Amino acid sequence: MSIILGIETSCDETGAAIVRGGQEVLVNLVASQVDVHREFGGVVPEIASRQHTTVISQLVRKALDETSEVPDAVAVTAGPGLMGSLLVGLSYAKALALAWEKPCVAVNHLEGHIFSAFLGDPKPTFPFLALLVSGGHTMLLDCRAPHDYEMLGTTRDDAVGESFDKVARLIGLGYPGGPAIQKAAEQGDPSALALPRAMRKRGNLDFSYSGLKTAVLYALRDNPDLNPADVAASFQEAAVDMLIQKCLQAIEETGAGRLVIAGGVAANKRLRERAYQDLPVDVFIPPFAYCLDNGAMIAAAGDSLLEHGCIANLRQTANPAMPLTAMA
Ligand code: KG4
Ligand code: ZN
């Protein structure tokens, strides 16, 4: 069983983790930059790269100090994400692997999210459907086998996490928007505002979230006295409803028996509740800590890639738009 050091720096979290056998997390450290970016209302790419540069060495050293295990390989996110941020982690990982004379494995961040499902209990087995919901992506995938994925549907405009962030800004809640909307929604009435559920009955499995955001914008323009908690609760219910409807459709069309939900939005309590309650399949959602960006999920995906002989060389570069399904 391999011991993998996983490094994640694609956006605004620096992650370093050590995982045994792709499933057992020995150490998982995350240095969040949220406080640094908050005053700007979103992630500032140049500041993100600098922050990664400042903390990465200490974070990896701390992770190594917290276990007596010695890594067999270094796995690192090579894309998609912010170019400068990706390059910090990738350059660091390549240099470390070279110095240690150990393999370096380049991991697609989205594949990392899929593999986060193996860090929880119970664990799924392939094949399964995956709903991948983050700040930059909304995808339904048919995961046939490790590294063999077919895209069934994706967003035509905003990602669902992005819509949480934008609506949070509209109603004056802080950044990041997802947790802020969830918290405000606890005090609100989800039926206070009638919001559209885009493409609910349409044939394909694509998503669209910009209409929902615009509906919130118009509702606030027409009625500035709306209670922010009611807006948050109504928006959250509509956003979650759209995800559940598409999952139901995908389950019906494919006959799948298992569904994984991963990515930052999978941390949403209402989505977790609705998924376990309404989807007629075995649902696997990682524990909260592994939904948000972290190094453990990169180590888990890296473990499987290593087993499949996917080892990076020194020419490996970062790809901010790295596609997931081209990897198969
Ligand atoms: O996967 P992630 O950490 O980073 C990306 O790969 O994008 O996802 C971040 C996204 C943000 O849009 C954030 O607002 C959203 O996940 N998010 C949530 C929750 N926690 C984080 N959305 C809804 N409810 C939450 N509890
Ligand atoms: Zn992510």
Say if residues 50 and 62 touch (Cβ distance below 8 Å).
no
Nearest ligand atom owner, CA of 263: 1
What residues of the chain score a pLDDT lower than 70? 199-202, 326-328
The DSSP-derived string for 55-80 is: HHHHHHHHHHHT-S---SEEEEEEES
What was the pLDDT predicted at 328?
Answer: 39
CA of 320 to the centre of ligand 2 (A): 13
CA of 315 to the centre of ligand 2 (A): 24
- Could you read off the pLDDT of 121-158 as tens digits, one per residue? 999 999 999 999 999 999 999 999 999 999 999 999 99
DSSP classification of residue 108: E
How far apart CA 144 and CA 6 sit, in angstroms, is: 24
What was the pLDDT predicted at 197?
Answer: 86
- Could you read off the pLDDT of 38-94 as tens digits, one per residue? 989 889 999 999 999 999 999 999 999 999 999 999 999 999 999 999 999 999 999
Q: Which ligand 1 atom sits closest to the C-alpha of 177? A: 14
**How many alpha carbons lie under 13 Å from residue 47 in its C-beta half-sphere?**
13
Q: Which residues contact 70 (CB under 8 A, 6 or more apart)?
A: 3
CA of 109 to the centre of ligand 1 (A): 14
In the numeric block, the tokens 């494919």 are attached to: 254
